[in-house]
Structure 1
Amino acid sequence: MTKLTVIPGDGIGPEIMTQVVRVLQHVKAPFEYEEHQAGEVALHTVGELLPKATIDSINKNKLAIKGPTTTPVGGGHKSINVTMRQLFDLYANVRPVRSLPGVKCVAPDVDLTIVRENTEDLYAGIERMIDDNTAESIKRITRKGSERIARYGFDLAQRTGKSKVAVVHKANIMKMSDGLFLKVAQEVGWQYPSISTKDVIVDNACMQLVTKPQQFEVIVTQNLYGDILSDLCAGLVGGLGVVPGANIGEKAAIFEAVHGSAPDIAGQNKANPTALLQSAVMMLQHIGENTKADAIMKALIAALSDVNARTGDLSGHGSTTSFTDAIIQQLG
């Protein structure tokens, strides 16, 4: 059995996490569940947004699933997600974006994955005030960071049978930083002759994603661009409530819902567990449990196709619990 750190999170987090664990237990996923807290609930109970016990659990288990957490505005609190990425060197942010049956969306037949570098670029937070009226932020790109995210993207494409990788950049303007990223990504791409590599300037990538997203399979990009493109692509397929995510490194892997904690509907049995359940599917694939992952995905798609099963945010008549019941019924 694999020990799994479970972080329910804030708002709707505990509700959707309970349902996801129900599904994992139903398919007899090989996990021992070890629950720990992070976010506002942890701040109120133990005085820390990310308690040492949670950090220690992830360090020990190397695998975690996390519900949405809230970082209080102001007060000098650092983002929990950014802290985790830095603590565990989770250099690859992986966001599959897929059109799902029963989910009203802008673009049908989308099936792409954004592979975003997760530790450097402008998000490294290297900033200073030059004077009272001038702020400066440093964009740091390294060969090491560029090479490992590019290799992750090409390996993912190869492993999942994809034939195209798009490297997104702004090297026409930032000739040194983005130029280095593009150069290194192209060097990695040459080592995968069966995969077609193209480079796309980020503003053009935005237009192409809106007008013809079906042309993309795997996108490899830097931290800031990846953050923006991930939400743009989520908007194409129905929003963040139906899109999973993962932060992966050599030391650990954390799978998470990328949407917010939605405190306005917390405790009302209205929350949609689709994003977090798909993150659990990614987690099963990560540990080689592909049969169980495929079974859950098939059951989820069947439940989403039923208006009486899916939740109200997807124009359905179901609740958090009844939607999960329908998924479990499909699993048999």
Structure 2
Amino acid sequence: MLRNCFIKSRRSLATAAFKEQLLPKKYGGRYTVTLIPGDGIGQEITSSVRKIFSSENIPIDFEEIDAENNVSKAVESLKRNKVGLKGIWHTSADQSGHGSLNVALRKELDVYANVALFKSFDGVKTKIPNVDLVIIRENTEGEYSGLEHESVPGVVESLRIVTRAKSERVARFAFDFAVKNNRKSVTAVHKANIMKLGDGLFKNTVAEVGAAEYPEIESKSIIVDNASMQAVAKPHQFDILVTPNMYGAILGNIGSALVGSPGLVPGANFGREYAVFEPGSRHVGLDIGGKDIANPTAMILSSALMLRHLGLNEYADRISRATREVIAEGKKTTRDIGGSSKTSEFTEAIIEKLKTY
């Protein structure tokens, strides 16, 4: 009993200190937040957020950064402001293109924990109703580290690094998230039956952190291919999935299909000093950019997560409620979820809904 009280006390103190580190300074009662629209549909969906924030008189000033494939500008702004709202940068599969700017940003800021929320919407028809799943993925090592080279012509070596330290901190983040959000279980996703050292280290570290520090949260594990099948067939068995980098990307796309669209998934990235909020399903939407047909819900709800992070809970609750109610009514929804409205029309519908509260 005393040990559990000590763990909870230490946990609450650590959480308070962590939160203080991540919050930007307030000037004149207002926060300055870095805004990075990104590529594809980025300008349109961040414009939706701007319009909603303006209509609600939310005390946020955006410092918009046009990175132009230059991560350093975005990093400089984020280091100054501590909190950012971001669209997705496009990464070409062409070998002559640049590496992932998204990965570079996360590594530079060490925002190691990506959180994506997959929750069903009233008014969106899906095969499986009432999905409520969280995927927390390690953001800074593993397959997406970009450590690869051609050792001899025709032979490419890609290094997949897994460390105890980084596995431990993302595991602790996942269990902390479970405690704060009344979640009951954390399941580590792995392929330790084949990659016994790397994935074995990740799997075992998650189990050790859970057993030692979070006895009230059920700790489980599952092989990634089975996790993919189970997520499609019986997603309700999962509460929080904590994963290495690439497994989280794959399962996140499955989660997007479960709830009806990648345009419905909010997300965030957290580190020791910085927090960057972005859609949880990382689709750029190059093919529909500039056509005023994108679904801005993921960005709007990501901005609501940002507001909660800043302690502006009332604004966050109003925006989340209005967005979900407009979708449930089905009169002004975008084509990806069965409607025919434009991005701008959907946004105006949310603004009008907010006026009724």
Q: Choose which of 43, 65, 70 in structure 1 pairs with 2:85.
A: 65
The AA in structure 2 aligned to 1:290 is N
- Provide the residue aligned with 1:228 in structure 2: 250
- Provide the residue aligned with 1:50 in structure 2: 70
Q: CA deviation at 1:265?
A: 3.0
> Residues 173-223 of structure 1, C-alpha deviation per residue, up to 9 Å, x if partnerless?
211111111111111101112111111111111111111001111111111
Q: Does 1:164 align with 2:181?
A: no
Q: Does 1:293 align with 2:316?
A: yes
Q: Secondary structure at the match of 1:272?
A: coil
| C-alpha contact (below 8 Å) 1:19/1:273 kept by paired residues | yes
- Provide the residue aligned with 2:119 in structure 1: 98
What CA distance in whole angstroms lies between the structure 2 residues aligned with 1:171 and 1:11? 37
What CA distance in whole angstroms lies between the structure 1 residues aligned with 2:209 and 2:193? 20
Query: Identity percentage over the alignment?
Result: 44
Distance 1:269 1:330, change over 3 A: same
What CA distance in whole angstroms lies between the structure 1 residues aligned with 2:145 and 2:71? 22
- Provide the residue aligned with 2:40 in structure 1: 11
> Residues 108-149 of structure 1, C-alpha deviation per residue, up to 9 Å, x if partnerless?
111111000011112222223343343322221111100100
What CA distance in whole angstroms lies between the structure 2 residues aligned with 1:117 and 1:316? 35
| C-alpha contact (below 8 Å) 1:96/1:243 kept by paired residues | yes
The AA in structure 1 aligned to 2:171 is A
What CA distance in whole angstroms lies between the structure 2 residues aligned with 1:146 and 1:11? 33
| C-alpha contact (below 8 Å) 2:99/2:146 kept by paired residues | no
The AA in structure 2 aligned to 1:242 is L
What CA distance in whole angstroms lies between the structure 2 residues aligned with 1:116 and 1:2? 28
What CA distance in whole angstroms lies between the structure 1 residues aligned with 2:40 and 2:49? 16
Q: Which runs of 5+ in 2 are unaligned?
A: 1-29
- Provide the residue aligned with 2:297 in structure 1: 274
What CA distance in whole angstroms lies between the structure 2 residues aligned with 1:304 and 1:161? 26
What CA distance in whole angstroms lies between the structure 1 residues aligned with 2:324 and 2:196? 44
What CA distance in whole angstroms lies between the structure 1 residues aligned with 2:313 and 2:236? 25
Q: Choose which of 297, 309, 319 in structure 1 pairs with 2:342.
A: 319
The AA in structure 1 aligned to 2:85 is I
Q: CA deviation at 1:281?
A: 1.6
Q: Choose which of 52, 67, 91 in structure 2 pairs with 1:23.
A: 52
The AA in structure 1 aligned to 2:244 is Q
The AA in structure 2 aligned to 1:193 is P
The AA in structure 2 aligned to 1:222 is P
The AA in structure 2 aligned to 1:155 is D
The AA in structure 1 aligned to 2:320 is M
- Provide the residue aligned with 1:185 in structure 2: 206
Distance 1:56 1:167, change over 3 A: same
The AA in structure 2 aligned to 1:70 is H
Per mean C-alpha deviation after superposition, the further-off stretch among 90-99 and 256-265 is 256-265
| C-alpha contact (below 8 Å) 1:106/1:235 kept by paired residues | no
Q: Secondary structure at the match of 1:305?
A: helix
Distance 1:275 1:174, change over 3 A: same
Superposed CA RMSD in Å reads 1.7
What CA distance in whole angstroms lies between the structure 2 residues aligned with 1:193 and 1:24? 41
What CA distance in whole angstroms lies between the structure 2 residues aligned with 1:132 and 1:75? 16
- Provide the residue aligned with 1:32 in structure 2: 61
The AA in structure 1 aligned to 2:272 is E
Q: CA deviation at 1:259?
A: 4.2
Q: CA deviation at 1:266?
A: 2.9
Distance 1:203 1:51, change over 3 A: closer
Q: Which runs of 5+ in 1 are unaligned?
A: 43-48
Q: CA deviation at 1:255?
A: 1.1
The AA in structure 1 aligned to 2:210 is G
Q: Choose which of 226, 232, 235 in structure 2 pairs with 1:210.
A: 232
What CA distance in whole angstroms lies between the structure 1 residues aligned with 2:236 and 2:202? 25
Q: CA deviation at 1:28?
A: 3.4
Per mean C-alpha deviation after superposition, the further-off stretch among 236-245 and 22-31 is 22-31
Q: Secondary structure at the match of 1:246?
A: strand
| C-alpha contact (below 8 Å) 2:33/2:61 kept by paired residues | yes
- Provide the residue aligned with 2:174 in structure 1: 153
| C-alpha contact (below 8 Å) 1:241/1:259 kept by paired residues | no
What CA distance in whole angstroms lies between the structure 1 residues aligned with 2:169 and 2:196? 20
Q: CA deviation at 1:159?
A: 0.4
Q: Secondary structure at the match of 1:268?
A: coil
| C-alpha contact (below 8 Å) 2:112/2:269 kept by paired residues | yes
Q: Number of residues paired by the alignment? A: 323
- Provide the residue aligned with 1:137 in structure 2: 158
| C-alpha contact (below 8 Å) 1:37/1:51 kept by paired residues | no
| C-alpha contact (below 8 Å) 1:168/1:201 kept by paired residues | yes
